[in-house]
Amino acid sequence: MARLLFFIAIFSVVIFSPFYVEAAFSEHYKINADVIGTGGSSSTTGSYALKDTIGEPIIGPGTSDNYKAKAGFWYMVTTVISLLVDSNTVNLGTLTPGTPVDGQSVISVTTDAWGGYDLYASQNHQMLHTDTVTTIPNYSCDIGTPCLWSGTGLGFSVTAGTTVESKWGTSPNFKYAYFPLSPTIFHQKSGYLSGADQTTVSYKLDAPSTQKSGVYSNIITYTAMEQL
């Protein structure tokens, strides 16, 4: 028995503004961060970006349960992040139980954060029928321990990107996990990269032969957060 299924995705991005110390201000000006040093500048090439200061005895980020601080001039410079997905709707088409259907999204993240970024994913609910009652259960494995495809449900894998974690496997043996209800890190990109960094997320869906025919959908949210 064939059934038509749709996968609808909505995407979001979190932009972190770093904390800073107001070093000096008056009626006419404000200096957000300053330093007494002997040298330093910004340097870039096709392969790297470097911001340095000569003469600072203590630098680097620090955190606790109650605060976040950045010591040093360059750590207090504002960074930005943006996220773009190639399409906000993925149509998985018509499914015949026992023959999985596939789709994918390409996520592009651009940031000047020196530490890179984390990608999070979540879903609003399991694949839901238009009757608002019937669902297709999640795939069996979670993000922490993806597994080779076997069984039914909606699963996803990271099939291309920069330094993809080994837990996602390689072609043709990619490993899959279900989308959690709360935002969960599924991919991390460390270090600075000039320009957009692309990650390909592939989807796979199958259903048991007893599954009710009809149209199913859900909402997937992707979030990018800077590593500071």
Domains and CATH numbers, the chain: 3-16+81-226 (2.60.40), 24-76 (no CATH)
Beta carbons of 223 and 81 less than 8 angstroms apart: no
Whether pLDDT at 30 is above 80 = no
pTM to 2 decimal places: 0.72
- In what helix (H) or strand (E) does residue 209 lie, and over which residues does it extend? none
Average pLDDT, integer, range 201-216? 92
- Alpha-carbon gap, residue 169 to 218, rounded angstroms: 26
The residue with greater pLDDT, 13 or 99, is 99
pLDDT tens across 111-126, in order?
888 789 999 999 999 9
Q: Which residue has the higher pLDDT, 142 or 215?
A: 142
The 10s digit of each residue's pLDDT in 155-187 is 999 999 999 999 999 999 999 999 999 999 999
DSSP string, 96-135: BTTB-EEEEEEEEEEE--TTEEEEEEEESSSEEETTSS-E
- At residue 184, the pLDDT reads 96
At 52, the pLDDT band (50, 70, 90 cuts) reads: low
